[in-house]
Amino acid sequence: MNTAKTIQSALISVFDKEGLEPIVKKLHENNVTIYSTGGTEEFIKSFGIPVVAVEDVTSYPSILGGRVKTLHPKIFGGILNRQDHEGDIAQMEEFQIPQIDLVIVDLYPFEKTVASGASEADIIEKIDIGGISLIRAAAKNFKDTVIVASVNEYALFLDMITNGNGATTLAERKLLATKAFHVSSHYDGAIFNYFNTDETVYKASIADGQVLRYGENPHQKGFFFGEFDKMFNKVHGKELSYNNLLDVDASVNLMSEFKNDKPTFAILKHNNACGLATRNTMKEAYMDALAGDPTSAFGGVLIANGNIDLATANEINQLFCEVVIAPSYDADAIAVLEEKKNRIILIQNDVELPTKQVRTCLNGLLIQDKDNITDNKELLKTVTVTAPSEQEVNDLLFASKICKHTKSNTIVFAKNGQLLASGTGQTSRVDALRHAVEKANSFGFDLNGAVMASDAFFPFPDCVELAKNAGITAVIQPGGSIKDELSINYCNENKVSMVFTGTRHFKH
């Protein structure tokens, strides 16, 4: 069965006319009758191409300031009629409805208008009625009608009619209909989300997806849905993988805690920081971050909160790393970092991040607010007789920021603005602490005078006892256990200071 259909008539009514010219010229070349409205009509006429005004078909003018133009049975009948249905054929003739084989229409820029900060009145006027109806009608009737619902499909459609000598196949029409329903559903989702205030209802639609080389492992398919190019300028390196993107996400979230601090550098592996330091220069910050765990740093993701200069780049270049991220680089620093062909170099732009976190769970989704509380001096409550020194308070808050972004159960050791070690993702807090002590010792760190951060409370005093024996002098934790006094009493008896934040930072 031949499913190819030659286009003999077209309705064209678009807001964005960029890229439309070669299409209307090709349609005119193929002797297609063109119907149009308003600005699009004038645009087509400017090329000397004849156009039939929609008003001449409907015998009804555009009314209500242009809100009603195409909403008429003679237009929708021409689009929705079934060309192999005797009843439809008879009614088309009875009511003198013209056949419309092709619809090219786009939608008012609702999302751009919202993003511009426009008034509610202006936003409401950008809710398209006629356009969305035309798209749905033509897409529904893809068996007989062609729909081009976005400027993004102009090139594809032009290739179709050029290669098909003005005709399209059923498969091509169904493909364009699928793309059209994507346009309409995304548009409706954006409108709903603008109005919606009910947090128990969730709708999400991301227009552009990226196929990744694979997922977490080579046997898994992987995709990224988002606007990566808005957030980063990728200046060098291979394509980012699924795991790269997870590490980049963890890096960006962690470094946001240090955005306005002195030069700070972090190295992450498997979403956890294995090195982090704040210093007077970026090179010093990098060197001390690397010293935190030079073994795990191999193949990691590196991120800075400020400019990477040549001196820092020369040091980085001695390490095999997957990704380097910074808000800026000196030109000679980029030249050095580009010496490794596959190394990914990203310039991070100042882009607002989502306020919600979404992940799959069972046969649905889990959605939560981001953990947007950063522990600060005003939140601290000293619960021991011995109070932390000013330097210890600074280190406690430093350690707390890292702890917040480390997999639970976690313990973090820090001293003088440097991550010494952490115990990550352990099933018990004691194991996390022992792991941190072991790591610190293995890299030659002296824990005497260091501080400890915990993402949750201590139900027993065993953790503070182990910490004290390792040399820890100050502890930060949320508090809240019914047995808090056991840990507090131990600290008092052993001259260890402890502060409560009142905020738990689990990261599952």
For the record, the structure tokens of 24 come out as 């209307």
CA distance 190 to 205: 8
What pairs with residue 225 in β-bridges?
Answer: 209
- Residue 270 is a catalytic residue: yes
Nearest to 141 by CA among 99, 189, 183, 91: 99
3-state secondary structure of 95: coil
Task: Count other C-beta atoms under 10 Å from residue 310's C-beta.
Answer: 16
- Annotate 147-169 with DSSP letters as a single string: EE-SGGGHHHHHHHHHHTTTEE-
Alpha-carbon distance values, 263 to 1, 312, 331 (Å): 69, 11, 19
Residue 350 amino acid letter:
D
Angle at 367 between CA 197 and CA 477, to 5 degrees: 115
Between vectors from CA 244 to CA 300 and to CA 290, what angle results, nearest 5°? 15
Positive or negative, the CA dihedral 172, 27, 5, 186 is positive
Give the amino acid at 130. Answer: G
User: What are the CA-CA distances from residue 175 to residues 11, 129, 178, 291 (Å)?
Assistant: 19, 23, 5, 55
Spatial distance between the Cα atoms of 210 and 213, rounded to a whole number of angstroms: 10
R_g of the chain, CA atoms, integer Å: 31
In angstroms, rounded to a whole number, what is the distance separating the alpha carbons of residues 292 and 444?
10
Active site residue 507: no
* CA-wise closest residue to 356 among 339, 370, 344, 345: 370
What are the structure tokens assigned to 390, written together? 């000013």
From first CA to last CA, the distance across the chain in angstroms is 56
Q: Are 89 and 83 in contact (CB under 8 A)?
A: yes
User: Would you call 130 helix, strand, or coil by DSSP?
Assistant: helix
Q: Which of 28, 140, 234, 340 is catalytic?
A: 140
Cα gap 404→422, rounded to integer Å: 12
Whose CA is closest to 145, among 79, 200, 89? 79
Bond preceding residue 342 cis, omega within 30 of 0: no
Taking residue 66's Cβ as centre, other Cβ atoms within 10 Å add up to 12
Q: What tokens does 89 get?
A: 């054929």
Q: Which amino acids are annotated catalytic?
A: 140, 270
